[in-house]
Chain A
């Protein structure tokens, strides 16, 4: 469908403990490139981030309005580990492409579950070919939640369509106990659904269908 610029931050995580540190704070197994979710002790979402392993450092790409919460979450857990955080948000722009497009060498491209994430230096302008309405239609069609709409601090990852980012066999991380209990009891309270319009309390409105977070029947 096209390319859209996202309202994203880009944090640079350096230091020998970088993978272990992010792994210990988020829901997915972080061993390299992946998408994962930072959650509170009550398992509510702080932000979903794309982790891009650049070899010498990790780039965390998340939603700009959530950046300070993520930074605060990480700061409190730096207790002498070899972790250094930089902010490359001002120097780069982040795009999402629904298909694999050719980009300049200076653009970092990763295939993710939402589409292709492109991190481009500001000197490299990428044409936006999709407006917000198209993007929302793409998300509704593919049941892709988005930060600020479905992915918010009111929801836990299982409720807002991020269950595939909650690793089933991973050990402790912040919020794990609650998410594991929800899974083992089959009770997650709410779930992301796509319904035919009109949809009451829709989180994303599409032309014929919309996304909503509704209470589960169990």
Chain B
């Protein structure tokens, strides 16, 4: 391979998905669990993002962060500061953050009206 030609290989223009102004809801149970996780420190924020990968193509990414380098939109939901990366906003509009309390497969769950399908473990969607 001629690396000079690789360096000058025409870049493929990516049509970035449109940034959507996200609305989302948090269930009562999830609020309780987030209250416990934040422990009253509202200087932190809940980052709700999407990573590529998983059995179905996308995986949810929930983190409690002070700040992030990602280009995000900031929401205030039930007193929580929520950050949603603009790059994945089209996949997250209308989601409900829930908490499922069970021994196996429990934890935070995302109910996503944009998801056509999800994998068995529930962490991945398409």
| Interface: A81 (CB within 8 A) | yes
| Cβ distance B55 to chain A, nearest Cβ, rounded Å | 4
Contact at A41–B10, with CB atoms within 8 Å? no
Contact at A80–B57, with CB atoms within 8 Å? no
A41 vs B124: C-alpha distance when bound (angstroms): 11
| Cβ distance B121 to chain A, nearest Cβ, rounded Å | 8
Contact at B6–A86, with CB atoms within 8 Å? yes
Residues of B within 8 A of A87 (CB): 9-10, 12
Contact at A59–B57, with CB atoms within 8 Å? no
Q: Among residues 116 to 131 in chain A, which have CB atoms less than 8 Å away from a CB atom of chain B?
A: 119-124
Contact at B88–A88, with CB atoms within 8 Å? no
Contact at A52–B1, with CB atoms within 8 Å? yes
Q: Which of B1, B117, B119 contacts A172 (CB 8 A)?
A: B119
| Cβ distance A196 to chain B, nearest Cβ, rounded Å | 39
B interface, by DSSP: helix, strand, loop or mixed?
A: loop
B8's nearest neighbour on chain A, judged by CB, is A91
Residues of A within 8 A of B55 (CB): 41, 172-177
B85's nearest neighbour on chain A, judged by CB, is A80
Contact at B50–A120, with CB atoms within 8 Å? no
Identify the A interface with B (CB < 8 A).
10-12, 21, 24-25, 41, 52, 54, 57, 59, 71, 75-81, 84-88, 90-92, 106-108, 119-124, 172-177
Subset of 26 A-B contacts with CB under 8 Å: A12-B6, A12-B9, A21-B52, A25-B53, A59-B6, A71-B12, A78-B14, A78-B52, A79-B50, A79-B58, A80-B70, A80-B85, A84-B11, A85-B11, A85-B12, A86-B6, A87-B12, A91-B2, A91-B9, A92-B1, A106-B1, A108-B1, A119-B1, A173-B54, A174-B56, A177-B119
Among all A-B residue pairs, the 6 with the closest Cβ atoms: A121-B2, A77-B52, A91-B5, A24-B53, A80-B87, A86-B9
5 more CB-based (< 8 A) A-B contacts, given A88-B9, A121-B2 = A79-B52, A79-B91, A91-B5, A173-B54, A177-B120
Identify the B interface with A (CB < 8 A).
1-3, 5-6, 8-12, 14-15, 49-59, 70-71, 85, 87-88, 91, 117, 119-120, 124, 126
